Amino acid sequence: MTRKFKILNTLDFTLCPKALDVFDGVGEVKTLPWCYDTVRSEIHMYDAYLASTSVVLDADMLSAAKRLLVVGSPATGTDHLDLATMKKMNITCFDISREHSLIESFTATSELAFGLLLSINRQLVEASQSTRQGLWERERFTGFQLSGKTFGCLGLGRLGTISSKIAQGFGMRVIAHDIDKTKTSEGVGNVSLEELFRSSDVVSIHVHLNDSTRGMVNANLIKMMKENAILINTSRGAIVDETALLTALREKNIAGAGLDIINGEWADTIGEHPLIAYSRDHGNLLITPHIGGATIESITDARVFMANKVANFLKNAATEN
């Protein structure tokens, strides 16, 4: 008799409900809310886990996951997953960071980087709020023109390259720094890390979070930035020294920052995060809730892909057993 698996899911398949049909005949799928304690209390009963980035799969949770064979996360980042512990437990983990045929078409995060940039630079949130109050304060909300300014790209991988091309479309001069010195992009000047922060009017972060990039954007680099410069981070919060960033914003050492992520985004007390608290009363910081990849196209394609990947893994596991 073919083995039937139990699959735990915390992903939202509202945009692609038929994606879960791939588990018909493979096993039973149960969907839980984004609650660490709830997932922790039930994961011991499951063979597979479709993992949302909103729930951290850490060593403690994995200690309860005695049956777990495979984890599938339709994200390019893996900081919500304890990969080292999974490796020790012989749990297979799938993400999409190296699924190049899939993610090459995903431009959403780079597009959002420029949405954040334009919103901060042109004070779009405040201008809209003012207009809703019946005011027409045209000259109150000024910013600088992007054309002719210098766009500094930290990381020249897939998203860095896409972002560089968008910047060039705005008529910006583009410079970049990447750990891999062989990475190039047409019309982009390669510079040192220090030069990137000293010379750029906009610094946009497009590197993966790992041991070499954690805390990479430190206080010294932030101090090198121009007073009228804007920092954009759509990568991961832990890449930036957030205390140093907050100091720079408070003291107006830089013009502003647009963040799609912050360090500790999974915490129940996220509303008390110092950056969020500051942003409530200061227009030079705009934070969005990790929506960089949240477009219909990228959500649907990534989740359908991952459901198929995990289903195929389980089908093979059933055959082997």
Residue-by-residue DSSP string for 75-138: SS--TTB-HHHHHHTT-EEE-STT-HHHHTT--HHHHHHHHHHHHHHTTHHHHHHHHHTT---G
Active-site residue among 173, 177, 290, 303?
290
pLDDT for 321 equals 63
- Asked whether 259 and 275 are in contact (CB, 8 A), the reply is yes
Superfamily of domain 5-99+297-320: NAD(P)-binding Rossmann-like Domain (3.40.50.720)
Q: Does pLDDT of 320 surpass 80?
A: no
- Asked whether 275 and 285 are in contact (CB, 8 A), the reply is yes
- Asked whether 55 and 34 are in contact (CB, 8 A), the reply is yes
At residue 309, what are phi and psi to the nearest 5 degrees?
Answer: -65, -45
Q: pLDDT digits over 64-100, tens only?
A: 999 999 999 999 999 999 999 999 999 999 999 999 9
Does domain 108-287 fall under CATH 3.10.129.10? My reply is: no
Domains 5-99+297-320 and 108-287 share a fold: yes
Q: How confident is the model at residue 1 (pLDDT cuts 50, 70, 90)?
A: very low
Chain-centre distance for alpha carbon 44: 28
Q: Does 67 qualify as catalytic in the annotation?
A: no
**What are the residue ranges spanned by the domains of the chain?**
5-99+297-320, 108-287
Mean pLDDT of 245-249: 98
pLDDT for 2 equals 67
Q: How confident is the model at residue 183 (pLDDT cuts 50, 70, 90)?
A: confident
Q: Does 173 qualify as catalytic in the annotation?
A: no
Mean pLDDT of 27-45: 97
pLDDT for 268 equals 84
Q: Does pLDDT of 212 surpass 80?
A: yes
First to last CA, the chain: 10
Q: pLDDT digits over 291-318, tens only?
A: 999 999 999 999 999 999 999 999 999 8
pLDDT for 295 equals 96
Q: How confident is the model at residue 151 (pLDDT cuts 50, 70, 90)?
A: very high
Active-site residue among 173, 236, 273, 303?
236
pLDDT for 299 equals 95
Chain-centre distance for alpha carbon 24: 31
Active-site residue among 40, 206, 265, 303?
265
Mean pLDDT of 273-301: 96
Q: Does 122 qualify as catalytic in the annotation?
A: no
| % pLDDT > 70, the chain | 99
pLDDT for 184 equals 84
